[in-house]
Chain A
Amino acid sequence: MSSTAPPSDGIDHVDERLLRTTPLKKLLARPELGSVVGALAVFVFFSIAADSFLRPASLGTVLYAASTIGIMAVPVALLMIGGEFDLSAGVLVTSSALVSSMFSYQMTANVWVGVGVSLLVTLAIGVFNGFMLTRTKLPSFIITLGTFLMLTGLNLGLTKLISGTVSTKTIADMEGFPSARKLFASQITVGGVELKVTILWWLGLVALATWILLRTRFGNWIFAVGGGADAARAVGVPVYRTKIGLYMGVAFCAWISGQHLLFSFDVVQSGEGVGNELIYIIAAVIGGCLITGGYGSAIGSAVGALIFGMTSKGIVYAEWNPDWFKFFLGAMLLLATLLNAWIRKRVEATK
């Protein structure tokens, strides 16, 4: 009698007030869902519209385009989850490349020295952004807009002052160039498809960022400072250090991006990068990051970057005028954001 426990009142892990959650509904609750649906739609669209889109070589190109945006979209997404913007992210990439190139050239040093100096300078700019933000308590929009303008001016002014032109001198014949190129701008052939090494960097960063966000204390703090900075501070979360750390993350990725720029083209145009900061933010938003902070994912930013890559290259493969790219982008941004909002509402309503 006592040995047979009645199955009905046995204590179960699942609360009886909860309706059974289907895996589908769990999937729907993910922040990146809207972007995945959007990415599939774009993929199908260009598969039909452009014959050459599905060729392996084209996919390699699409992934490359996505990776150059994706590398920056990852830290920008984390920063956005942490409740802040970085408008200087685009030109920071150029600054990082310029510092690296000009330092090596002027000092006739091994290019790795320039790469190292560039890392320090870039991280310092990230710290500057974060420090100014936490010290002045001004909106990050204003602070980084200031940094953006200053860096744009510095990039052009210093390059002209040092090199005499708007671009840097070639460093392709300098010591260490081949090995640095291998790390930042080489190609790997997988099954006949040429894949740029940036794709690996990108995937690595997405995996790392996802791990940080979901499984570390710092990740918990990122969500908290974005979702409720005062509540976070009240329970002892170091809000300022978290934000400065996020800006350093952006700087670190800008450094990777910048070195890629340098070692794949070997000269750097000092006016580049303006406008890219918005592309990173758009990729993060398409990927499900809430513009007000506290919600989003790193994987979503990757999907957002992938949508970018597919659209920009798909238009070329479809042999359309590339002028349409921006229009598509705008439409995509609106659609993805609406879809995200709609899905979130439905999921929360059915909870």
Chain B
Amino acid sequence: MTTATKTGSAPLVELDDVSKYYGNIRALEGVSLEVRSGEITCVLGDNGAGKSTLIKIVAGLHRHDAGTFRIEGEEVTLANPRDALDRGIATVYQDLAVVPLMPVWRNFFLGSEPTKGSGPFKRLDVDLMRTTTRDALLRMGIDLRDVDQPIGTLSGGERQCVAIARAVHFGAKVLVLDEPTAALGVKQSGVVLKYVAAARDEGLGVVLITHNPHHAYLVGDRFVLLKRGVMAGSHTKSSVTLDELTRQMAGGTELEDLRHELERPSST
């Protein structure tokens, strides 16, 4: 789409031939991907394909063992999640995006709380936190009833949306989403994808991890396929169709074999 105009500048995030080993286990080997501003890069793979490992490297939870990891052209090794956040990479996890018992506004600012006053009177700017939460959510199109309600009382989709809005508000350049639609119904998935697109339109680069090619194809610009820790394919939207993506994702030839196996023996 917009790649042609941006090929000159360095991608926001670029992984080149990155590998990760846990002891003698090869979790990830030779994976490359790039994320550009205003684009969505989808990482597709079945369970155990190495999606989680990949996301943990980008989020700063794990360090990669080989290959290069560049942020805006600069080669880095992230020390911890805070380091990733400081460099503009915000990660929204499927199940641990928020602290359920805390009010929405406390969750929204968790880890980056604004304060006022100084010395022993330094305190949270509660009014600012409340109004900013409301406004930031509204800007993303999320109209919340009450920012004081515990975030656990929101639905799964709403929680994802709050987490996305939080990342956008704190000036993230890259948003990493770990299976945002995995536990959601069809309608809620649509809502979440809408916010993912909204984040993209704000100029963020998005990494969308999913095992659902239909969701990926709806919003994605680039697709990276992982299988058993290695890259099974890398496409741009113009170079692949949904059917082809689904076929590769589902295992292609393996699926063919499976169909043969499951076929009823014809009596004729």
Contact = CB atoms under 8 A, between A and B. Distances in A.
**Chain A contact residues, majority secondary structure:** helix
A235 B110 contact: yes
Contacts of A234: 59, 81, 91, 93, 96-97
Q: What range describes how many residues of B lie at the interface?
A: 20 to 34
Contact of A236 (B81, B97, B100): B81
Contacts of A295: 101
Interface string A92-120: 00000000000000000000000000000
B126 interface: yes
Contacts of A211: 123
Contacts of A221: 110-111
Interface string B69-108: 0000000000001100100000101001111111000100
Nearest to B120: A211
B124 A232 contact: no
B124 A220 contact: yes
Interface in B134-179: 145-146, 149, 153, 166
**How many A residues touch the partner, as a band?**
20 to 34
A351 interface: yes
Given A227-B99, A231-B96, A231-B99, A236 B149 contact: no
Which one of A15, A211, A227, A290 has the highest number of Cβ atoms from chain B below 10 Å of its Cβ? A227
Contacts of A217: 113, 115, 124
A49 B109 CA distance: 51
Nearest to B129: A220
B135 to A, nearest CB: 13
A290 B97 CA distance: 21
A319 interface: no
Nearest to A208: B120
A219 B109 CA distance: 13
Contacts of A223: 99, 101-102, 106
A235 B107 CA distance: 10
Contacts of B122: 216
Contacts of A237: 110-111
B7 interface: no
A159 B101 CA distance: 46
Contacts of B81: 233-236
A348 B150 CA distance: 9
B55 to A, nearest CB: 11
Contacts of B153: 348, 351
A228 B150 CA distance: 13
A230 interface: yes
Nearest to A348: B153
Given A228-B98, A294-B101, A220 B93 contact: no
A228 B146 contact: no
A215 B106 CA distance: 11
Nearest to A296: B101
Given A217-B124, A220-B109, 18 more contacts: A15-B146, A215-B124, A217-B113, A220-B102, A220-B106, A220-B110, A223-B101, A224-B106, A224-B111, A227-B99, A227-B101, A227-B102, A228-B100, A230-B93, A235-B111, A235-B166, A237-B111, A290-B101
Interface of B: 59, 81-82, 85, 91, 93, 96-102, 106, 109-113, 115, 122-124, 126, 145-146, 149, 153, 166
5 contacts: A211-B123, A221-B111, A235-B111, A237-B110, A351-B149
